[in-house]
Amino acid sequence: MKYKVITYFDNMEDEVEIFDNKDEAINRLHHLRGVKYRNSRLYTVEMVEVK
């Protein structure tokens, strides 16, 4: 199973990162949400499982 961490800018896909390990993907998701884009309303970040 692979995991995508997708960053959206103004509801449009901006950046996609693919991880093999779920823990790494969750750590990256928390880093982006909590540190990099904490107070930004234009950026949203989500994680998606890919087969």
pLDDT per position as a tens digit, 1-51: 999 999 999 999 999 999 999 999 999 999 999 999 999 999 999 999 998
Whole-structure pTM value: 0.89
- CB neighbours (10 Å) of residue 10? 9
Identify whether the C-beta of residue 19 lies closer than 8 Å to the C-beta of residue 3: yes
Domain range enclosing 22: 2-50
Total domains in the chain come to 1
Three-state secondary structure call for residue 20: coil
